[in-house]
Amino acid sequence: MKLDPNTLRADFPILDREIHGHPLAYLDNAASSQKPVAVIEAIDRFYRAHYANIHRGVHTLSEEATVAYEAARDKVAAFINAPDRRGVIFTRNATEAINLVAYAWGRTNVGPGDRVVVTEMEHHSNIVPWQMLTQEVGADLVTFATTDEGRLDLDDLDRALDGPVKLLAFSHVSNVLGTVNPAREITARAHAAGAQVLIDAAQSVPHLPVDVQALDCDFLAFSGHKMCGPSGVGALYGRPEILEAMPPFMGGGGMIRRVTCEESAWASLPAKFEAGTPAIAEAVGLGAAVDYLSDVGMAAIWAHERELAAYALERLAELDAENSCMRVLGPPAGERCGLVSFTVAGIHPHDLAQVLDWEGVAIRAGHHCAQPLHQRCGLTASARASFYLYNTRDEIDRLIVGIRKAQDMF
């Protein structure tokens, strides 16, 4: 069923704001999404009526909080079709989830001469932890290429996998190019080479149906704040048999079964990787966000965003036809998510973003935490408009009007 963004907009109070006298057009969803009333109210209700620390209390509030927290885990597990709820670990965000794997799995399984493979299009969160790991243990970090059209070079993947590869880490969807990578095929190639696979799904789980069983990945990381949930909570999915074999990421309360002054024994999954008091209310909010997105329908959200991306590419092409001013990064509409990064000749992306803000249009400008990819493209920065379920064609038209105003100014 096709969604109606104008109806959904009423669920997001912040979209009623005016910025510099203009209605807000929020086109920065790849950085973070806005929150519906259902999520705001779920967090408020939890704090007002049910808040307490979880798992260890026998009083009513603690039991209620524990039920709410673990119910959120069940919702997240179902949302990504995890075969076992024990494989869903709550983290602060996708970055922490990736670091958890780099520390707890990587420092146990990667050694001198081994390879970890990443791609040129990765977010820094899926590069820096692997740099730190490989430099520490004497392993090699190998990068495989991106084509000029913004696709992963799968021929170059064969080269990267030709060696003692322990892990391939790659993004399901590029946060700069919008490219939707053939994750199942890439995963299958990596497994055939004897490597395990981590997928950075920060830009896919919020926007399209994601099924970890169909992807056949070993790890998958994503953030709550990009999918209508609160900041401060995300998740790592891992195969339980792999997680069981990993040492803990952090030590402390909640992740132990037994402690003496000499040694400790770890709790069962998922508690083993959730040391200390977790982000309880935030997890409840994430569960509410999952409910909201599920009610709208991920297939409908995905179709809507792809339509918006196609329309944005058409409008930017019109600008380029007028004076050959535009450079759009990434593949054509059929191969990308609802995200368009571009440059405008003679205007720095930060200046463009400032002019657009004066018009009430919020976009992102910079390297988007993907400096290696920008270097590959011969750029230091780009402008990025990214869409979600509540965005409209009207807002893209306002983006184009704002770009024209910036051109007139510069």
CA-based nearest residue to 25, from 34, 37, 341: 34
Which of 261, 337, 369, 377 does the annotation list as catalytic? 369
pTM over 0.85: yes
**Which pLDDT does position 274 carry in this prediction?**
97
CA-based nearest residue to 114, from 135, 138, 98: 138
Pairing state between β 219-223 and 234-238? antiparallel
Quick one: fold of 39-296? Aspartate Aminotransferase; domain 2 (3.40.640)
**Which pLDDT does position 255 carry in this prediction?**
93
- CA distances 75 to 70, 243, 286, 293, 349, Å, are 9, 20, 9, 11, 39
CA atoms within 13 A on the CB side of 171: 29
Spelled out in words, what is the top-level CATH class assigned to the domain 5-31+297-409?
alpha beta
What is the pLDDT tens value at each position of the chain, 410 positions in all? Answer: 799 999 999 999 999 999 999 999 999 999 999 999 999 999 999 999 999 999 988 999 999 999 999 999 999 999 999 999 999 999 999 999 999 999 999 999 999 999 999 999 999 999 999 999 999 999 999 999 999 999 999 999 999 999 999 999 999 999 999 999 999 999 999 999 999 999 999 999 999 999 999 999 999 999 999 999 999 999 999 999 999 999 999 999 999 999 999 999 999 999 999 999 999 999 999 999 999 999 999 999 999 999 999 999 999 999 999 988 999 999 999 999 999 999 999 999 999 999 999 999 999 999 999 999 999 999 999 999 999 999 999 999 999 999 999 999 99
Residues in CB range of 91: below 8 A, 6 or more apart: 97, 100, 221, 233, 234, 235, 236
Q: Is 337 a catalytic residue?
A: no
**Which pLDDT does position 56 carry in this prediction?**
83
Give dist(CA 98, CA 127) in Å, integer. 10
CA-based nearest residue to 80, from 173, 241, 208: 208
**Which pLDDT does position 1 carry in this prediction?**
76
Two tokens at 346? 């003679």
For the chain, how far is it from start to end, CA to CA, in angstroms?
Answer: 44
Backbone angles phi, psi at 152, to 5 degrees: -70, 140
CA-based nearest residue to 391, from 33, 123, 22, 18: 33
Q: What share of residues in the chain are helix, strand, coil (percent, to 5)?
A: 45, 20, 35
**Which pLDDT does position 302 carry in this prediction?**
98
**Which pLDDT does position 259 carry in this prediction?**
94
Domain parsing of the chain, residue ranges: 5-31+297-409, 39-296
**Which pLDDT does position 214 carry in this prediction?**
98
* Angle at the Cα of 386 from the Cα atoms of 381 and 389, rounded to 5 degrees: 170
